[in-house]
Structure 1
Amino acid sequence: MLTAILTGFLFSIFLVFAGKFFKGKLSLLASIIPLGLFLYFTQFILPVSNGEVFLKTYQWIPSFGVDLGFKLDGLSLLFSLLITGIGFLVFFYTSSYLKGHEYLDRFYGYLASFMGAMLGLVLSDNMITLFVFWELTSISSFFLIGFNNTNPASRKSALTALGITGIGGLFLLAGALLLNTMTGTYSISEMLSMQDAITGHEFYFLAVLFIFGAAFTKSAQFPFHFWLPGAMKAPTPVSTYLHSATMVKAGVYLLMRFTPVLGGEDLWNISLIAVGGVTMLYSAIHTLFRTDLKGILAYSTISALGILVFLTGLGTQEAFLAAAVFIIVHALYKATLFLVTGIIDHQTHTRDVTRLAGLNKIMLPVGIAGILAAISSAGIPPTIGFLGKELTYEATLHSEMLAIILIIAIVITKILLLYAGFVAGIKPFTGKLPQEHENVKKPGFILWFPPVLLAILGIVFGVAPFIIESSLVKPVVEAMGADASEIHLALWHGFNLVFILSLITIATGIALYFFVKPSAKLESKAARFDNISPESLLVRFNKVFIDISYFWTGFFQNGYLRNYISIIILFLVVLVGYILFGNTNFVIDYHSLSRLTIYEIGTTLILIGGIFYTVFTQSRLSAVVGMGVVGLAICLIFVIYSAPDLAMTQFSIDTLTVILFVLVLYKLPKYLKLSDYKTRVRDGILSSIFGILITTLALEVLAEPVNKNVSEFYAQNAYLEAHGKNVVNVILVDFRGADTLIEISVLSIAAVGVFGLMKLRLKMADRKRYQDK
């Protein structure tokens, strides 16, 4: 499994060196990668359908309980097949859609990385591994959404998507750490046996909240949904891949995966029903007010994701069955409609549905695919969409809470989704062909074959649902913790209430399609409410946040180093002073301290003299010399207390510092303009308080009994475990290697920043513009 996951990333790296070979006719060969992975995962269908679960673990960071654990069961297998199967068609389609594009190889690299990240996400059985791949999907999707990087709207959409899903990644990490605290493991499989302990734990509410935060942002649930319509700035293959099989369903996958762990409680179920219900209705209504084909499909996707969250929240075996089938339904018809939209845009150079009609006369295969996908999205027999709709209605009718309200909500949603599917899949191909499109050419086989294949599968699975019953659907239901032994899929369930609701949905949706025509007028009416939309509210909040940040930065970081130091010292004085003197047991046992010697007194007097000279001199160079005296006095203190190594280090650094300061300050004016009297008094009082506080703290530490457990451990194990005789070096490099690595990283980043500033060269025009400002 690890090889399958890494294949996408390795192919991306390969394209860095051999990308030029995939820009021409050979670009079609790129589709071999997802096709091979799809064939690889098909071999698991039979054993998984028989109840087998494949677990594979590779050691990564065993000391922290983190490993590369992967699990292939019914749920992960379904998503893996969708990711690689639809991925193959998207790669195949891209070779023609972006034919001749300057950065086609780069696009394939992003797409392959995205595929690898999604496979890693759905196969992960370790929470930290899941988080890593979760973040990789966000990063790779950022590059895909912003692929047209010369377009400011594309860049903005990519940043918005990265920002929203990135916040979700932080929630997921927090949830992983919290679940580890609750269970003592990062393994999702091990958590399955601890459901009672988890749901009864005091941190259960927080764990659920963090998982919800990750899932809702990734799967575009209200009010985090607005990043998804913005992502339509990406090329159509990206939109197809994101919406049908991969990223937007990652949040749904997370909820399904953790239903056996966190589900079964009112907090989990009611929250998902509420959020999913609001999302599906809100987004379905939006489809009435859109004229851009991608915009219609984007909001219908959000609505479909809301349905999946809603079904997961119902928490019954019937709901899990409906969700499993609807994942397949949505993947097939949504991928088809997006590919069809891409062909329309590619051939006619417009996605405005008000300007499209009669395209069947030019691109009949594409029209057939669009119409079949629209029928499946509407839930009209004999498509699999009809089966998915009936199962959804049945699960909702049998809900234990607010069944009437929920069934009304889901029926209205389905009616609106039927309308959206008809507008996107039927309207562009029926009616009279506009004059502006009479010269449009028929697309090639590579473009129209993928949507036709997906549309046909929607019919095949509807007529013969037994194909997916045992192989795909039942294992998903079992992976979600329900019994699937009595599940039998059939197109016809008899004439009952569910069938009557289906007839009402179809009749009402078709009537709505004929009576409500997409128009700019309707779109403008919806635009009136943009000021109160979640996106607008977030933009306003962001503006307020930026204003506060400017004020905060201007007040605390105003460019004066002395102010920075003063604020830092004041903060430490307040914090440490409160902790130190707020402790009622604070008593210094002076009798336990050693007596002062003449050497210590003399050195301290020299040090104090150096400080006063530095503070009151009016010469910069004299101040540097005074600070040098202070440094040498500290060296003497180290020598007195038997620390010659520290003394030599201090001496070397202090000497170098003095030399550098002299070189820097040599050409500056001889005398300083000292600060006013009040400022000097304020700084003197603050520094004196800080000095007294540190002295008191040091005396208290010296008076405490010495605990040598840590030092003895380092001394005993430095050579045995790290094979080093210098204990200090071993501590820095081995025992505290992570700290040292971080410190080196910080210094490296600072060095890069300084180097960048030193190498900054403004063009003459830029310099003039800067000077004018």
Structure 2
Amino acid sequence: MAAIGPALTFCVLLLPFMGALMAPWLVSRIGGARAAWLLALFPALAFLHFCGFLPEIARGEVRTGGYAWVPSLNLSFSWFVDGLSLAFALLITGIGTLIVIYSGAYMKGHPHQGRFLSFILLFMGAMLGLVVSDSFLMLFVYWELTSIASFLLIGFDHEREAARRAALQALIVTGAGGLSLLAGLVFLWNITGVTQFSLLVHMADGLRESPFYLATLLLVLGGAFTKSAQFPFHFWLPNAMEAPTPVSAYLHSATMVKAGVYLLMRLQPVMGDTPAWEILLPFFGGITLLVGVLLGLRQTDMKLILAYSTVASLGLLVMLTGFGSSHALEAAVLYLLAHSFFKGALFMAAGAVDHEAGSRDITRLSGLRHTMPLTFAAALLAALSMGGLPLFFGFLAKEEIYAALAAGNPRAVFFTALAVIGNALMFALAFATGLKPFIGARNRTAAPVHEAPPALLLGPLLLAFLGLACALFPGLSHTYLSSPMASAVAGQAVTIDITAIPHFRTPLALSLLTIALGVLVYWQLDRVRDVTTRALDALGEGPDRGFDHFVSGLVRAAVLVTRVVQPGRLHIYVAVTFVMLALTLLVPLFAFGELPAMPVWPKDMLIEEAAFLVIALIGIFAVLRARNRLTAIVSLGIQGFAVAVIFLLFGAPDLSFTQFMVETLSVVILALVMTKLQLTLSDHRPMREALLDATIATACGLGFTLLLLKALQMPFDRVLTDFFNTYSKAIAHGANVVNVIIVDFRGTDTLGEIAVVMITGLAVLALIRVRAGRRAT
């Protein structure tokens, strides 16, 4: 029974991928809407499986498991489920179930709906694997898989240039961050000696005291900031709205954009509580919060407004994670959960409006409450939670935020003011999308609008009511979600007890101030939008256009470098290759004083050996003096045959035979190639090129000569000789040591050599046949 649990969890982690494989086939068989309900069973079963962990995780326990992959390197496929990873797993699978059902109705009739559902489930599986990963390598693999899956989803409508650009932008930004994260994980491995997050928590002191702590932190932040769209990498997230609405809803509520926040929360007990952590995270998080709400104010598209508010929310989460107090971590946990509920509901409501009314422009939409009452109810409830009004989970999060930030020191005052301004503007953005399109008089010139189908309403209604229920029943939500999650982030037991009943203290006063400012901005939304647009336009181009300039500059630089290093002349490529070879051989010998002693001419050399050395020298002279290339090729074979005879004289007939074959094939192939090429009969190189080539050739020859002489003058190591002499007969049952080495000990290498010879022979045969065919015609 002990093995059933890990095996079952392993299968559960594979469920979304199994659904992804089946999606195209199911859609083609029974249609997209029906297939979506069946495919939703995959994440639903995973959700139920993780729900079974709630009681033990609430008691402070953890669930681990996995399988060794490369034990010698401590690499494994392992998972670690605590309060943090369990909350994320439930959000990913629970909201993912609703998104799959939603996609079946939203994408109904699309010719590639099966492919879309497959991508969604692939994305879900990647994110689920990411949040439960215990192994560094496992986390990185899933981290990159989320980038690839998001690229496929954002660029799903690949016929539009904007979608292709957005997908490529997201892939480049998050992919570069992934490389930064990989380097950071390698640093963590080298500093601590562990490759699992469950063990890393015990290495906190050593990591913080390491001289490489700052470098590691910066590399990890590079991965987290790009994934969670922190300034100045925020621009890719709004552009990702080119994806269909189900992708936007899932991306912003429960998956990829929160991966960076998840990583920071996971590492907070290990890398937190340092000046660098408490300076960098609040600074960049605060800037992102302010940039997100300001850019959101200038938008009129519902999805873009929600996208920029997500950027702001992610900045708030990063700011709270790095603030350095237990209350701030509790606030981050509450706000993350509340954000998942209200943002998923608002995005799906916006998609329903677009699906039925044919527009997402809040300046053109009005009076939809009459024809879309259920969509209006879901959007309004979600907006109330996002605005931080009482009786909603968002109110609990805002109260905890102000309780964590409010203090008398200048740092606390600054970030409290920043949080009030950001939350007030997010209040206005919430009701701009959740209220404005539904109130007022119905536009009589617009096409008739009716309520969205049940599959489009299930998700937003359920998530909106969850935002209300979690606040009305805080005991359950804190016991099973908030407190275990905060305990995992803080690295110690934490109990959250905030309720929906307002308490007349500083946090409530700040909440009321936030609401008042938000109502004021919403009342003057058009005027504020105009002022914000003019102010932002005056600042000039932002990071989004800067990305385009960077990519175009990179392409121009690549073209320039290619023109220099790839001019299209084989002579230059060969020359550069041999120059590098000569430098590799000669520089170490001269730089480190490793030149060999000059060899002594042997006194007992046989006349046959001397004769063949002379023949080799004559062959070299013949090559240099040859009047055409064919003569040079034939003369070049003289050296090879002379060396083969020397091998024979020194008692190596098998090696001599191989050398004869190689030289014969080389001469034949080169001669055939020369007959196929349109070349001049003689060499017409200028003298300077000939001298340069001669210098390079001499340098290469000298390098090999000196290296071989140095190797021959080293003491002979008989380890391999004794090994082969001892074991050739015992292991390979062969008395000929050379044959045993070639056939058994180096069998794979010999097979490769045989394959090369075979391919060469086939090439020669093909050349002969081509030439014979031309002669026949």
Pairing 1:117–2:126 present: yes
SS in 1 for 2:238: helix
Q: What SS does the aligned partner of 1:255 have?
A: helix
Give 1:404 shift.
Answer: 1.1
- After superposition, residues 314-325 of structure 1 pair within 5 angstroms as 314-325=323-334
Please, which of 253, 278, 284 is the counterpart of residue 269 of structure 1? 278
Q: Which of 677, 702, 720 is residue 712 of structure 2 equivalent to?
A: 702
1:3 matched to 2:26: no
Matched, 1:20 2:28: yes
Q: What is the Cα deviation at residue 207 of structure 1?
A: 1.7
Contact 1:291 1:523 in 2 (8 A): no
Of the structure 1 ranges 111-120 and 629-638, higher mean CA displacement relative to structure 2 is found in 629-638
The alpha carbon displacement at 1:598 in A equals 5.2
Counterpart residue number, 2:381: 372
Q: Does 1:71 align with 2:99?
A: no
Structure 2: any 5+ residue segments left out of the alignment? 1-8, 760-777
In structure 1, which of residues 678, 682, 687 is the aligned counterpart of residue 697 of structure 2?
Answer: 687
Following superposition, the deviation at residue 376 of structure 1 comes to 0.8
**1:8/1:483 Cα in 2 relative to 1: closer, same or farther (>3 Å)?**
same
Check whether the contact 1:354–1:518 (CA below 8 A) recurs between aligned residues: no
Aligned to 2:351: 342
Task: Work out which of the residue numbers 126, 129, 142 in structure 1 matches 2:135.
Answer: 126
Structure 1's 359 and 655: CA in aligned 2 closer, same or farther, altered over 3 A? farther
Amino acid at match of 2:448: N
Structure 1, 638-647 or 130-139: larger mean CA deviation: 638-647
Letter matched to residue 40 of structure 1: H
Q: Offset at 1:230? A: 1.4
Which range is displaced more, 723-732 or 476-485?
A: 723-732
The alpha-carbon deviation at position 544 of structure 1 amounts to 2.7
Deviation of residue 712 (structure 1)?
6.5
Q: Higher mean Cα deviation, 496-505 or 638-647?
A: 638-647
TM-score (norm. length: structure 1): 0.89
The match for 1:95 among 101, 104, 111 is 104
Q: So what's the TM-score if we normalise by structure 2?
A: 0.89
Quick check: 2:372–2:451 contact (8 Å CA) kept in 1? yes
Specify the alignment match of 1:333 in structure 2. Answer: 342
Q: Which of 442-451 and 326-335 deviates more?
A: 442-451
Q: Distance in 1 between matches of 2:479 and 2:733?
A: 58
Secondary structure class of the residue paired with 1:588: coil
Q: CA RMSD in A?
A: 3.1
Corresponding position of 1:770: none
Q: State yes or no: 1:431 paired with 2:479.
A: no
1-side partners of 2:640 and 2:216: how far apart? 52
Instruction: Classify the secondary structure of the residue corresponding to 2:77.
Output: strand
Distance 1:224 1:652 in 2: 61
Structure-2 change in CA distance of 1:519 and 1:704 (3 Å): same
Instruction: Tell me, yes or no, if the aligned pair for 2:381 and 2:465 is still in contact at 8 Å.
Output: yes
Letter in 2 for 1:2: F
Aligned to 2:253: 244
Please give the alpha-carbon distance, in whole angstroms, between the structure 1 residues aligned to 2:48 and 2:74.
33
Residue 661 of structure 1: how far off its partner (Å): 3.1
Moved more, 604-613 or 725-734: 725-734
Q: Distance in 1 between matches of 2:61 and 2:132?
A: 15
Which one is further off, 488-497 or 43-52?
A: 488-497
- The alpha-carbon deviation at position 646 of structure 1 amounts to 5.2
Paired residue secondary structure (2:564): helix
CA 1:373 to 1:486, structure 2 compared with 1: closer, same or farther past 3 Å? closer
1:84 equivalent in structure 2: 93
Q: Which moved more, 1:395-404 or 1:550-559?
A: 395-404
2:250 & 2:730 partners in 1: Cα distance?
Answer: 54
Match of 1:351 in 2: 360
Q: 2:305 aligns with which of 271, 290, 296?
A: 296
Opposite residue 455 of structure 2, the aligned amino acid is I
Of 656-665 and 644-653, the range deviating more from structure 2 = 644-653
Residue pair 1:23, 1:104 contacting (<8 A) in 2 also: no
Secondary structure in structure 2 of the residue aligned to 1:361: coil
Q: How many residues align?
A: 741
Given that residues 590 and 703 in structure 1 are in contact (C-alpha distance below 8 angstroms), is that contact kept between their aligned partners in structure 2? Answer: no
Task: Check whether the contact 2:390–2:502 (CA below 8 A) recurs between aligned residues.
Answer: no
Structure 1 counterpart of 2:114, from 99, 105, 110: 105
1:501-650 equivalences under 5 Å are 501-517=510-526, 525=534, 528=537, 531-574=540-583, 576-584=585-593, 586=595, 588=597, 590=599, 601-636=610-645, 639=648, 647-650=656-659
SS in 1 for 2:68: strand
Task: Label 1:30 to 1:378 Cα distance change in 2 as closer, same or farther (>3 A).
Answer: same
Q: Tell me if structure 2 keeps the 8 A contact 1:359–1:367.
A: yes
Contact 2:483 2:495 in 1 (8 A): no
2:6 maps to what in 1?
none
Q: What SS does the corresponding residue of 1:360 show, helix, strand or coil?
A: coil
Report the Cα distance in structure 1 between the residues aligned to 2:355 and 2:603, rounded to whole angstroms: 86
Whole-angstrom distance in 1 between the partners of 2:252 and 2:684: 65
Q: CA separation of 1:264/1:551 partners in 2, compared to 1, >3 Å: closer, same or farther?
A: same
Instruction: Give the partner amino acid of 1:555.
Output: V
Q: What is the aligned partner in structure 1 of residue 200 from structure 2?
A: 191
Task: Please report how far the alpha carbon of residue 260 of structure 1 lies from its aligned counterpart in structure 2 after TM superposition.
Answer: 1.6
Q: SS of the residue aligned with 2:359?
A: coil
Q: 1:329 to 1:577 in 2, by over 3 A?
A: same
Residues 132-152 of structure 1: per-residue CA shift (max 9 Å, x gap): 111111111111111112222
SS at match of 2:78: strand
Q: CA offset at residue 216 of structure 1?
A: 1.0
Structure 1 residues 339, 205: CA separation in 2 closer, same or farther (over 3 Å shift)? same
Q: Which structure has the greater CA radius of gyration?
A: 2
AA aligned to 2:162 is: A
Deviation of 1:311 (Å)? 1.0
* Deviation (angstroms), 1:308: 1.0
SS at match of 1:528: helix
What amino acid sits opposite 1:254 in the alignment? L
Q: 1:14 to 1:655 in 2, by over 3 A?
A: farther
Deviations 1:138-197 (A, max 9, x none): 111111111112222212211111111111221222222222222222111111111111
One-letter amino acid of the structure 1 residue matched with residue 712 of structure 2: L
> Counterpart of 2:5?
none
The 8 Å contact of residues 25 and 114 in structure 2, kept in 1 or not, is answered as no
Is 1:162 matched with 2:176? no
Cα gap change, 1:260 to 1:160, in 2 (>3 Å): same
CA contact (8 A) 1:593 1:702 kept: no
Q: Residue 76 of structure 2: SS of its match in structure 1? A: strand
What's the % identity of the aligned pairs? 37
Indicate the residue corresponding to 1:33 in structure 2.
Answer: 42
